[in-house]
Amino acid sequence: MARPVIITCAVTGSAPTTKQSPHVPITPEQIAGECIAAARAGAAVVHIHVRDPQTGNASMETAYYREVVRRIREDRTDVLINLTSGAGGSFTPSPEDPKRATPGSTISQPERRVEHILELKPDLCSLDIATMNFGEYSFINIPEHLRKMAAMINAAGVKPELEVFDLGMADYALTPRLTVVGGVAVVRQLESRILPVGGLVWTPNDQTRLELVVPRMRVARQLGGAVCDDLWVYLAGQFGGGSWAITLDDGSSTLLTYSDLRVSVGAEWYTTTRLSGVAEVGYVFARDISAFDVSQFTPDDTWMIRLGITF
């Protein structure tokens, strides 16, 4: 039986330009036309960034968004419009003064980043809840800006699409030694299963750290040592796994998903010379492998050993 899916099409993406591919749409007319074509091909949502028609580079101009949205709405295409709020978050430090941004940085006030959303009131808009490296620049979304953007988006009656790029997305320090952690994680991409992430990180003293966070819990204790500057031993339990795109023998592609539960004991060590290492042994159970159009496979329980050195 066919599995119902919701397809979102980002017709330009945030970064691609005509220098990378001549097929990237850059004018409002081209972008709107590709959105309409995507909807007619089966997309339920179109995620929209705009470009400067003269240079083909990414743009934040509300006028370009206004024309794209007008053309889609005038066509009466049955598709949800999702405008990005990610523009205005990039920062690259100046080589001469890292506190200053280079001319190519777009870092902006929250009000500027959602200006087009407040005016055009799309069905959805993205809200990126992480600060991270993106290509050669940093993508900055500090909590204060996110709170302001979320409040303005909510007041406009627009539904935010929360873009979660990693596991640890939100934490709040109640005290210097107690932090509340919360968020979500995709644990089975094949079935789009979302697992709540939450718990406490408590450091009762400088030698003890309790990470009571689902789905990765760990209790660590610092020990002294003559061979390294900093040695920690730990007991951990977590939900493990991941997803990979693979190519089959017939040339077709599929998404392979692996998941398991694991408990382990290990040690981590660090030195002042930036050399560090880890040694871990654990038991892995409740293992599962599945893929599109492939029968589910349940491997036997097993033991694991993990060794590593970073320098």
Q: pLDDT tens digit string along 135-147?
A: 788 888 888 898 8
Residue closest to 230 by CA, chosen among 269, 193, 256: 269
| Owner of token pair 């600060």 | 131
pLDDT tens for residues 222-270?
Answer: 986 556 668 899 999 998 877 777 777 777 777 778 889 999 999 998 8
In terms of Cα–Cα distance, which of 227, 211, 216, 219 is closest to 269? 227
- Mean model confidence pLDDT for the chain: 86
For tokens 């809840």, the residue is 129
Instruction: Give the range among 45-54, 81-90, 105-114, 162-171 with minimum mean pLDDT.
Output: 162-171
User: Pairing between strand 45-48 and 8-10?
Assistant: parallel
- β 193-205/159-163 pair status: unpaired
Question: CATH number for the 8-163 domain, one of 3.20.20.80, 3.30.1490.190, 3.20.10.10, 3.20.20.70?
Answer: 3.20.20.70
| 0.75 exceeded by pTM | no
Give the residue carrying structure tokens 């939450």: 198
Structure tokens at 99: 């506190």
Tokens 């089959």 -> residue? 248
Ordered by start, the domain boundaries in the chain are 8-163, 170-310
Here the tokens at position 132 are 């991270």
The confidence band for 162, taking pLDDT boundaries of 50, 70 and 90, is confident
Q: What is the pLDDT of residue 180?
A: 85
The confidence score (pLDDT) of residue 172 equals 67
